[in-house]
Structure 1
Amino acid sequence: MGRDRRPSRGARERNGRRAAPGNPESAEAAGSSVIDTIRSFVAVLLEGAVRGELAAAIERLRPVSRDVAWVNPGNIHLTVKFLGNVDRDRLDPIVAALTGALGEAGAFDATIRGLGAFPSLARPRVIWAGVTEGADAMVEAAGRVDEALAAVGFPREARPFSPHATLGRVRRPGANPTLASALRAEEASEFGRIHVAGVRLMRSELSPRGAHYTELATVALGLS
């Protein structure tokens, strides 16, 4: 996923009820809520051609650093907001809130251009592809999403939204001049344009083979 947004302990407790450890009766009572809890996020999906260009960039970078866990190209997306573990019965209110918030936001085009890293090229933890043209519209849409979901119980983002697509995560962060140089060489690389007509509510399932994403709902822009 795009930004690494981990919910606070309080958010996890609000969004996903957990049985007390070592208490079978408590576990049984909470069983249905555990089963019905979904790890989810709101995202803008990328078109196939753009994902293909980003996959090629990953292949160019792969020999430079063996210490990067690269995202499966089919999973590359722009995260708008990470929700964490959410009870299934909250999904309809989430979709309704998103629909109301985005109904007056028009569709737009965005350009995926340039590679970078958080927190810095000198000591990268997350490698990303950025958004240039269309970034302001993306920030506006993300702000609408944040406000709408705050109204149904999700915490507001503490940091300003920075649109990007996560390409990889460094397993042991530290200084890597070779990787930094390779990323600088890609700062002007253009990976294509996308048409953003809506956002998707996604389910994320984690396994030893990696993350698997499933689309739960689509919310179109500009349908009020």
Structure 2
Amino acid sequence: MIPKFRLFVAVPLPEQVRLAVSAWQNVLKRDLPFAKWVHPDDLHITLLFIGNVNAERLHEVRAALDAACTGASGKTFNLQLGKLGTFGKKQSPSVLWADIQGELAPLGAIQRRVETAMQDLLGIEPEQRAYKPHLTLARTYNGTWVWSPELMRLHPPTDEANAWRCDEVVLYRSHLGQTPMYEPVSKHSLD
């Protein structure tokens, strides 16, 4: 039986940003009761969830990502973290995230290139919703009081610590039930 890999493509965070976000998460944990906080090594900005792929097709996925990124060559761009937001019920959100700011047009362009490449290769249907880049910080609110937007006034790290130049995308493999959960499989340069 051929093993399957659970894959996704994302923008990684450089080490200094991961460290700053980890420190920020520790501050947020004091005020925001979420059941599960994302491990610092698992922080990323998802471009596309691929799902389960036979291991024998991994070289095809890598080649398609190389082609998508080569087409975006010289398209590095600046990103930074913004304000907090949530997904899910207003009173009991399922996800706490930080929005992404900066040069969003090239980020959106590489997301579309990756999505098109995987649609052509694997038949993955494009997402019907508009792409909303974000950094997931925590999951499953478990507070005893009703969630309030005022709680999200806690600001991200200083601009210096939360800004970076995006010059690559990474193909990750998920290992459900492990911590950290995501393993880099291959890196694809945008330079």
TM-score past 0.5 threshold? yes
Instruction: Give the Cα–Cα distance (whole angstroms) in 2 for the partners of residues 38 and 196 of structure 1.
Output: 26
Does 1:70 find its partner at 2:40?
Answer: no
Identity over aligned residues, as a percent? 28
Instruction: Give the Cα–Cα distance (whole angstroms) in 2 for the partners of residues 174 and 133 of structure 1.
Output: 36
Query: What are the equivalent positions in structure 2 for 1:91-106 lying under 5 Å apart?
Result: 91-105=58-72, 106=75
Instruction: Give the Cα–Cα distance (whole angstroms) in 2 for the partners of residues 189 and 176 of structure 1.
Output: 29
Instruction: Give the Cα–Cα distance (whole angstroms) in 2 for the partners of residues 188 and 215 of structure 1.
Output: 25
Q: In the alignment, which residue of structure 2 is the partner of 1:144?
A: 113
1:148, distance to aligned residue in structure 2 (A): 0.8
| Aligned partner letter, 2:150 | S
Which consecutive residues of structure 2, in runs of 5 or more, have no partner in the other structure?
none
TM-score with structure 2 setting the length:
0.86
1:175, distance to aligned residue in structure 2 (A): 7.1
| Aligned partner letter, 1:69 | K
Q: Of the two structures, which has the highest relative contact order with CA contacts closer than 8 Å and spacing of 6 or more?
A: 2
1:189, distance to aligned residue in structure 2 (A): 6.4
Q: In the alignment, which residue of structure 2 is the partner of 1:59?
A: 26
Instruction: Give the Cα–Cα distance (whole angstroms) in 2 for the partners of residues 109 and 71 of structure 1.
Output: 23
Instruction: Give the SS at the match of 2:93.
Output: coil
Q: 1:150 to 1:204 in 2, by over 3 A?
A: same
TM-score with structure 1 setting the length:
0.74
Instruction: Give the Cα–Cα distance (whole angstroms) in 2 for the partners of residues 173 and 142 of structure 1.
Output: 34
Q: Report Cα offsets for 1:132-184 as digits up to 9, x if no partner.
A: 11222211110111011100122222221111111111155997335x32213
Q: In the alignment, which residue of structure 2 is the partner of 1:200?
A: 170
Which one has the bigger strand percentage? Answer: 2
Query: What are the equivalent positions in structure 2 for 1:1-224 lying under 5 Å apart?
Result: 32-33=1-2, 36-105=3-72, 106-119=75-88, 122-153=91-122, 154-171=124-141, 176-177=146-147, 180-186=149-155, 190=159, 191-207=161-177, 209-222=178-191
Which consecutive residues of structure 1, in runs of 5 or more, have no partner in the other structure?
1-31
Count of matched residue positions in the alignment of Structure 1 and Structure 2: 187
Instruction: Give the Cα–Cα distance (whole angstroms) in 2 for the partners of residues 112 and 56 of structure 1.
Output: 14
Instruction: Give the Cα–Cα distance (whole angstroms) in 1 for the partners of residues 143 and 95 of structure 2.
Output: 9
Q: Highest Rg: 1 or 2?
A: 1
Q: Report Cα offsets for 1:17-58 as digits up to 9, x if no partner.
A: xxxxxxxxxxxxxxx22xx11111111110111112211221
Instruction: Give the Cα–Cα distance (whole angstroms) in 1 for the partners of residues 144 and 168 of structure 2.
Output: 37
Q: In the alignment, which residue of structure 2 is the partner of 1:13?
A: none
Q: Report Cα offsets for 1:55-112 as digits up to 9, x if no partner.
A: 1221122122334311111211111111111111111111111122221311112112
Contact kept? 1:121, 1:183, Cα under 8 Å = no
